[in-house]
Amino acid sequence: IKDMNRTYNDPTSQAYNIYAQLVSELGTARSNNNKSITELEANLGVATGQDKAHSILAPNEGTLHYLVPLKQGMSIQQGQTIAEVSGKEKGYYVEAFVLASDISRVSKGAKADVAITGVNSQKYGTLKGQVRQIDSGTISQETKEGNI
């Protein structure tokens, strides 16, 4: 056993040379890994700072709609509208033209469902409201088919 131990610890033995080479390579690999970790931590700090610099804030709270389809990597200009926020205010008024033939079915205080032209009411529903006022005058509305 003493012979084997002497042979192993002898600086000229092959086993000792392999051991020394592995320890040296391990030290180099550890040093490279520590350098990579330092670089990655620095990059993470920069990326985190960039995220904060590119935050998008709305001036008011509400429901987000009118989203412009964007994909990662696309550029947008400063001030470009990419979405809109509709406020949660109440008290909106809708002014509607009612045909003379239909006016008899409208009464003050009646519940109203307002469908917006160009919006799929089956998918998005209608605006709920109540009739507050009925103007006594008659107004003609100009359309492609003529005045109504």
pLDDT digits (tens, 9 = 90+) for 37-47: 999 998 888 87
pLDDT score for 54: 67
In sequence order, what are the residues at sequence separation of 6 or more whose Cβ sits closer than 8 angstroms to the Cβ of residue 87? Answer: 60, 61, 62
Where in the chain are the domains? 2-53
Whole-prediction pTM: 0.38
56-78 mean pLDDT: 79
Query: How many residues are there in the chain?
Result: 148
| DSSP string covering 90-127 | ----------TTTGGG--TT-EEEEPPTTS-HHHH--E
Residue type, 103: I
pLDDT digit string (tens) for 3-25? 777 776 776 777 777 888 899 99
